[in-house]
Amino acid sequence: MANITFLSPSLRDKVVLNVAPEEGRTLLSVMSEHHLREACCGKAQCGSCAVKIVPQRSDAASRPVVLSAKEKHALLKSRKLSWPEFDAKSLNDAPALWRLACQYVIRDEPILVAF
């Protein structure tokens, strides 16, 4: 089970969910299912579903992150990614990294999501 904690000024309190990491299930689908975020394009084009992901295990925080070309372009366009980060093959960002909720696939690990 993935333990996901959501924090946002739009929420009254933090929301903690235990989610089964199903094949290809995205963070945006979980957020939409629990009415935490309005739907967006879902195709990594608009960048409106950008969230900060903070791993809650120390071994996960040291793992490099590889973004798809579409996700990199959307994050660059929304100014969540710098040109040096855009040009890098992988990112070693700690503790928080901007990601698109529509592209982030849920894994069996605890994360904090800020938006």
Q: Supply the CATH number for residue 109's domain.
A: 3.10.20.30
Which structural domain range is residue 18 located in?
2-114
**Residue written as token pair 């503790």:** 95
Q: What length does the chain have?
A: 115
Total of domains in the chain:
1
All residues at 6 or more sequence positions from 73 whose CB lies less than 8 Å from its CB, including other chains: 44
Q: What angle do CA 52, 57, 20 make, to 5 degrees?
A: 75
3-class DSSP state of 27: helix
Q: Give, for all 115 residues of the chain, the pLDDT tens digit.
A: 899 999 999 999 999 999 998 889 999 999 999 999 877 888 898 899 999 999 887 765 567 788 889 999 999 999 998 898 888 877 776 555 899 999 999 999 999 999 9
